Amino acid sequence: MGQETWRLCSWNVNGIRSVFQKGFLESLERLSPDVLALQETKAHREQLPKELLEVPGYEVVFNSARKKGYSGTAIYTRKPPLHVRVGIGCPEHDGEGRVLTAEYPGFYLVGVYFPNAQDKLARLDYKIAFNDAVLEYAEGLRKNKAVVVCGDYNVAHKPIDLTHPAANAGNPGYSPQEREWMDKFLGAGYVDTFRMFEPGGGHYTWWSYRARAREKNVGWRIDYFCVGEESRGRVSRAWIEKDIMGSDHCPVVLEFVAEE
């Protein structure tokens, strides 16, 4: 097989109809991904303008939540996938449109919108159950070929991954239980690819809309590209596109050798 390097992108758009009005197609052109995984699309296909469904050069797949205006994922792919799977085969988790998998000759790309634990950790138990189901699902795929798990994980793993760790201890996205699950996930043999290249702080993917947080770079790194340890050598670069606007998140990018 060849050694072609693909550009994979992931972005929580916080409403695809909203980001469309804020230059989404221009951002797509600038990113120029081979595959773009979106989270929190908040729309069904029939609610979208044709400009979002008929993008030249891309095939578009949606996994929308049953509840309109909520959650949802999508994939824009320039490379024709061998197969696309909607959900993970768990009825208790698939109703919110949180997972899309595109299979290519050399790997699976799994785009995931992990749940928010919510105020007072009201949804923490559901989140951990969902996360465990996704890990089990990824492990099943990993038996066949390389797996790339990307998306909004809704957790800052280490103190270095948010501006104010002490003030947020126990809060949604930085609770001990969520951070422990991330330890478990990486301990199962997955690599946080951004940290392969950047050990330092001050690098974030989400900023509150309040108090000019993005302008001040008061943020959290909660969007990731993770690959199986066995695929570490196929990662050539991973970075954050902090200057691409339109959402409270910015895109994250991985350059990955698609076939081996």
34, 119, 132, 152: which is the annotated catalytic residue? Answer: 152
CA distances from 240 to 46, 126, 194 (A): 31, 29, 8
HEC letters along 183-215? HHHHHCCEEECHHHHCCCCCCCCEECCCCCHHH
Q: Is 161 an annotated catalytic residue?
A: no
**Residue/partner pairs of 192-196 with CB below 8 Å, 24 or more apart:** 192/157, 192/224, 192/226, 193/224, 193/225, 193/226, 193/227, 193/235, 193/238, 193/254, 194/221, 194/224, 194/225, 194/238, 194/239, 194/240, 194/252, 196/232, 196/235, 196/238
Catalytically active residues are 152
